Amino acid sequence: MRRSEPQTRLGVGASDEGKVFRVEITGYLNYSKYPKSNKVLYVPLAKLSEQFQRIHQEGGKIASITPTP
């Protein structure tokens, strides 16, 4: 079994610095049949850029980004 990134109490892999961000997305049609509903993702710092690209490719718009405590 290959070990992945460490788990935080949020269940998301954290970067070396342990920073995880809460990204709120609006208009994310791929995940909801309700186009006005928002989706929240918890993303480690190391994966933030990759996730931003994926969100925009799938038609989502980032409503807010906040660091988690």
Average pLDDT of the segment spanning 6-14: 51
Q: Which of 68, 16, 15 is nearest to 40 (CA)?
A: 68
Average pLDDT of the segment spanning 2-15: 50
Please check the confidence at residue 2 and state whether its pLDDT lies above 50. Answer: no
Is there a contact between 5 and 13 (Cβ–Cβ < 8 Å)? yes
The pLDDT value recorded for residue 51 is 94
Please indicate whether residue 47 or residue 33 has the higher confidence score (pLDDT): 47
pTM of the entire predicted model: 0.65
Q: Which of 56, 60, 19 is nearest to 38 (CA)?
A: 60
